[in-house]
């Protein structure tokens, strides 16, 4: 009986020894082993209760950057445009022609309404309006606005986009460009003297695209500027405040009413900053001056503006022009904390 008891104990000790040897051998396997065992896991989950003295760490053991600007950069990268792609391709149904301003005809599946982002707008030229959107006589219609510019003045892209048309039209636009923008709009730049870009070039808002001129059906150096959506002209005054040289709002809602025409003449009154003289023009045959000559809200030659550049502050702008921050804020209906957007213009007097 004692012999059987001894053998039972010996068997138990032997089994335990074999198990220990097996486990020890398993633990000695290196990560480079060709066996079927998984390499040792070096990462261990950290619990928040043990991390009270390590700021920025969470229970999953990951250290997070709390600077929200990182998230903004990621968001911007997500929407970065591919220069080889076609802007707003889904809206325009894949149509991309390099010959005409309106190449779309009656485009099917056009949206009834569309929101256009206007945040990165740049004035195409720093000149006041010389002719408005509207009728010219009884047979012609002016589908854009004319902005004062001397031959050779630099013309800038209004928004980010891609050059769709680069053409010459002898009896119309002269040398002109059409840009399809990322926001869905298209803009037209007419009567140029020189191109600085080519078809299918990707351009950014504020990038030089050409030089002003007097080509085509033009009776003096200026820039003819149009805003269109799906080929249809929209009165640029609906979108841009040419007095402030900035969009009315950060977004514009395109609806059927956006395409409405006006019975008003395209002729406007221009007040010169140089000699304070007033030039009048009228569509009527007797050339009678317009009654509201001095109050036309689209004429901006009577006030001064500053175009915002990188690094500008309200304090620096006020000092430069010999005015105060409070006065600038009052003129522009802003506060000292308002963010200044590069490319926009603010009134300084």
Taking 60 as the threshold, does the pLDDT of residue 204 lie above it?
yes
Lowest-confidence range among 98-107, 108-117, 128-137, 167-176? 108-117
Q: Tokens 């990621």, residue?
A: 74
Q: For residue 257, give the 3-state DSSP assignment.
A: helix
The pLDDT value recorded for residue 234 is 96
**CA 234 vs CA 187, 219, 257: distances in Å:** 10, 24, 9
Report how far residue 106's alpha carbon sits from residue 167's, in angstroms, rounded to the nearest whole number: 23
Per-residue pLDDT of 212-226, as tens digits, reads 999 999 989 999 999
Report yes or no: 242 and 148 within 8 Å, Cβ to Cβ: no
User: Residue 192, Cα to own-chain centre: how many angstroms?
Assistant: 24
Report how far residue 258's alpha carbon sits from residue 112's, in angstroms, rounded to the nearest whole number: 11
Report how far residue 348's alpha carbon sits from residue 336's, in angstroms, rounded to the nearest whole number: 14
Q: What is the rounded average pLDDT for all residues in the chain? A: 75
pLDDT band at 106 (very low <50, low <70, confident <90, very high): low
Instruction: Find all residues with CB under 8 Å of 17, minimum gap 6, and list them.
Output: none
E strand or H helix that includes residue 14: helix 2-27
The dihedrals phi and psi of 30, each to the nearest 5 degrees, come to -85, 160
Which of 161, 6, 171 minimizes the C-alpha distance to 81?
161
Global confidence as pTM: 0.58
Tokens, residue 267 = 């002729």
E strand or H helix that includes residue 251: strand 251-254
Q: Is 236 exposed, middle or buried (0-12, 13-18, 19+ CB in 10 A)?
A: buried
The pLDDT value recorded for residue 335 is 86
The pLDDT value recorded for residue 107 is 66
The pLDDT value recorded for residue 155 is 97
Which of 332, 159, 126, 327 minimizes the C-alpha distance to 252?
159
DSSP-derived letter for residue 271 is E
Q: Which residues pair with 313 in a beta bridge?
A: none
DSSP codes, 62-120: -B----THHHHHHHHHHTPPPTTSPTTTTTTTT---SS-S---SS-TT--S-EEEE-TT
Dihedral in degrees, nearest 10, Cα atoms 132, 138, 141, 142: -30
As a whole number, mean pLDDT of residues 138-146 equals: 90
The pLDDT value recorded for residue 22 is 52
Instruction: Find all residues with CB under 8 Å of 294, minimum gap 6, and list them.
Output: 269, 271, 278
Taking 90 as the threshold, does the pLDDT of residue 142 lie above it?
yes
E strand or H helix that includes residue 61: none
């Amino acid at each position: 009986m004692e012999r059987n008891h001894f053998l039972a104990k010996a068997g138990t000790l032997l089994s335990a020894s074999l198990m220990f040897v097996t486990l020890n051998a398993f633990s000695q396997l290196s990560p480079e082993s060709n066996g079927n065992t998984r390499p040792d896991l070096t990462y261990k989950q950290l619990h928040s209760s043990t991390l009270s003295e390590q700021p920025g760490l969470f229970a999953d053991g990951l250290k997070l950057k709390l600077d929200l600007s990182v998230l903004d950069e990621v968001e911007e990268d997500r929407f970065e445009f591919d220069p080889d792609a076609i802007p707003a391709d889904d809206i325009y149904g894949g149509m991309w022609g390099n010959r005409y301003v309106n190449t779309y005809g009656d485009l099917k599946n056009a949206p009834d309404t569309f929101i256009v982002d206007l945040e990165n707008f740049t004035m195409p030229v720093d000149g006041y309006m010389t002719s408005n959107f509207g009728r010219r006589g009884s047979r012609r219609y002016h589908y854009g606005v004319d902005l004062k510019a001397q031959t050779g003045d630099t013309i800038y892209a209004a928004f980010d986009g891609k050059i769709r048309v680069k053409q010459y039209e002898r009896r119309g636009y002269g040398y002109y460009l059409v840009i399809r923008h990322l926001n869905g709009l298209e803009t037209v730049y007419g009567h140029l003297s020189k191109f600085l870009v080519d078809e299918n070039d990707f351009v950014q808002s504020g990038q030089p695209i050409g030089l002003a001129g007097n080509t085509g059906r033009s009776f003096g150096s200026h820039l003819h500027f149009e805003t269109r959506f799906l080929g249809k002209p929209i009165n640029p005054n609906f979108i841009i405040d040419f007095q402030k040289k900035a969009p009315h709002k950060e977004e514009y809602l395109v609806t059927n009413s956006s395409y409405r025409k006006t019975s008003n003449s395209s002729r406007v009154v221009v007040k010169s900053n140089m000699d304070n003289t007033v030039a009048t023009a009228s569509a009527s045959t007797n050339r009678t001056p317009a009654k509201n000559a001095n109050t036309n809200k689209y004429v901006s030659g009577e006030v001064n503006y500053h175009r915002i550049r990188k690094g500008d502050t309200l304090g620096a702008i006020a000092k430069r022009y010999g005015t105060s921050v409070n006065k600038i804020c009052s003129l522009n209906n802003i506060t000292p904390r308002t963010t200044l957007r590069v490319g926009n213009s603010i009134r300084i007097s």
